[in-house]
Amino acid sequence: MGNKITSRKEDYSKWYNDIVINADLAENSEVRGCMVIKPYGFSIWELMKKELDQMFKDTGHQNAYFPLFVPKSLFEAEEKNAEGFAKECAIVTHYRLKNDPKKKGKLILDPESKLEEELIVRPTSEAVIWKTYKKWIQSYRDLPILINQWANVVRWEMRTRLFLRTSEFLWQEGHTAHSTKDEAMSECLLINNIYAEFAEKFMAMPVLKGSKSEAERFAGAEETLCIEALMQDGKALQAGTSHFLGQNFAKAFDVKFADKSGKLDYVWATSWGVSTRLMGALIMTHSDDKGLVLPPNLAPTQVVIIPMIKSEESKNKIEELSDKIFNDLKSNGVRVKIDSRENFTLGYKLNDYELKGIPIRLVIGQQEIENDEYEIFSRDDFNKIKSNSDDILNNIIKSLDDVQNRMLSKAKKRLNDNTHEVSSYDKFKEIIESQSGFVYCGWDGEASSEESIKKETKATIRCIVGNGEDKDLKCIYSGNPAKHKVIFAKSY
């Protein structure tokens, strides 16, 4: 099977890759930088999608679909956005292949099929969407527009890592249009809060919320809100962003609306997204040296029942009880499966379910039946709870809740333990170099201080969390009065 997982201590980066590969989540494809998301990995992503999609719909958003390609002239329209993505985009130049006259069975570009205007494979869809919104928006009655799309995007990456950084990835991108600045800002905040709630409630992953410094902002945004999670190696991972785009795209695409008095003004915009990167965050938040650990709320299989049949005499009783528990759990909405495969040993099965992070497992054999005592095994802490058959349904359901809560508490504790507040740059450097984690401090708001810190320590501002509330706060770098309270960390 070759599912030996490198330990975190030995090589954190290899540990991550081993889990992705051995738990059957994803693998590299033949296409540089693009991954294959395998069925098990994809089923986790499907659960994430389902929950997020419902949260978006509950807050009035609708799904739609916009083209994969962005004509170059549209791509150029919002200059900062274009500049931000120009260096990492896949470009379609031709629309036909023809037989290679020199090599039988081989194909070459047909030069006659050269496009008049190149098409960019979308790295993000603001341009193509705002060109469309121009047609949809005339008056305040057409606003707000609250649209989301689930799609693939391409950003050409030189160094890729499964889920965390791939040239093609899957994501959702929301694009909203509003008649006032306040309404757009509220939307931006609403979504960032949804992201944080999703991370905590479903991924059991606590996050910090804040806004980005100008250097870290989305290209074309006036403000970027974000959620930042802390991985087990002390590095931060940006898990979701919500952008206030001001009137930048409305101006680039000339999208105006008439208010009630008939006065024309440019439309206000937001855009926001989370991607398959969340899979990487989920894996790195909870997994251990035995494999993947999944929170029940996102586990495709929450409970696995393994009947262990050694003799014909106990076979019926074991199967009967297994089926009963299976059906009871299923009718209570639990995602459960029975593994009665005969050509695999119990040892193999236990190992495989540990590797794949199934939250709860239950082995039912002759001895368990005879004693009417069953062990409910929890993957996250390897604890076993004993139960008789009468209480087993309730005990399993309760255990699922316990696992979810325990995983969140554990992740919260780690976040707290690795969050520091410092006032001297020496201490700052010491923490960043030795243990990393989140470091709170003051910042004078100067890009030069931010850049120097990045150059000297590799730490970047993950988010701004305060704006001058503390009058005595000094910039960690310049010693000048701090403009913002910020969080620094090394990051993915």
Shortest distance, position 102 Cβ to a copy of itself, whole Å? 14
- By beta-carbon proximity to a copy of itself, the closer residue of 37 and 230 is 37
Closest contact distance (angstroms) between CB of 373 and a copy of itself is 35
Half-sphere exposure of 185 (CA within 13 A, CB side): 6
Phi/psi of residue 239, each to 5°?
A: -105, -15
CB of 79 to a copy of itself, least distance (A): 6
In contact, 210 and 488? CB cutoff 8 Å: no
- Least separation in angstroms between residue 57's CB and a copy of itself is 10
Complex with a copy of itself: residue 225 or 279, whichever CB lies closer = 279
CB of 376 to a copy of itself, least distance (A): 27
The position carrying tokens 């993915």 is: 492
- Per-residue DSSP letters for 201-235? HTT----EEEE--GGGS-TT-SEEEEEEEE-TTS-
Give the nearer residue to a copy of itself in terms of CB position, either 253 or 477: 253
Tell me if 433 sits within 8 A of 196, measured CB to CB.
Answer: no
For residues 287 and 298, give the distance between their C-alpha atoms in angstroms, rounded to a whole number. 14
- Cα atoms in the Cβ-side hemisphere of radius 13 Å centred on 59: 20
The residues pairing with 336 across neighbouring beta strands, listed in sequence order, are: 303
Distance, in Å, from the CA atom of 287 to the CA atom of 264, rounded to the nearest integer, reads: 54
- In terms of CB distance, is 98 or 330 closer to a copy of itself? 98
- Give 102 or 135: the residue with its C-beta nearer to a copy of itself: 135
Which is closer to a copy of itself, CB of 80 or CB of 410? 80
User: How far is the C-alpha of 108 from the C-alpha of 185, rounded, in Å?
Assistant: 50
Report how far Cα 408 is from the mean position of its chain's Cα atoms: 16
Residue type, 157: E
d(CA 456, CA 452): 6
For tokens 């994809």, the residue is 42
**58: helix, coil or strand?**
helix
Alpha carbons 293 and 49: distance in angstroms, whole number: 19
Q: For binding to a copy of itself (CB under 8 A), which residues are involved?
A: 27, 29-31, 34-39, 42-43, 46, 62-72, 74-76, 79, 82, 86-99, 105-107, 109, 118-121, 128, 131-132, 135, 147, 151-152, 154, 156, 168, 170
Distances from the Cα of 217 to the Cαs of 223, 242, 247, 289, 343, in angstroms? Answer: 7, 10, 16, 35, 54
- Which residue lies nearer to a copy of itself by CB, 109 or 465? 109
CB of 92 to a copy of itself, least distance (A): 5
Closer CB to a copy of itself, residue 12 or residue 40?
A: 40
Tell me the three state secondary structure of residue 434: helix
Taking the complex as a whole, the smallest distance from the CB of residue 11 to a copy of itself amounts, in Å, to: 24
Provide the minimum distance between the beta carbon of 195 and a copy of itself in the complex, in angstroms, as a whole number.
22
Smallest distance from a copy of itself to CB 263, Å: 19
The neighbour count for residue 301, using CB atoms within 10 Å, is 21
Our CB check for a copy of itself shows the closer of 76 and 183 to be 76
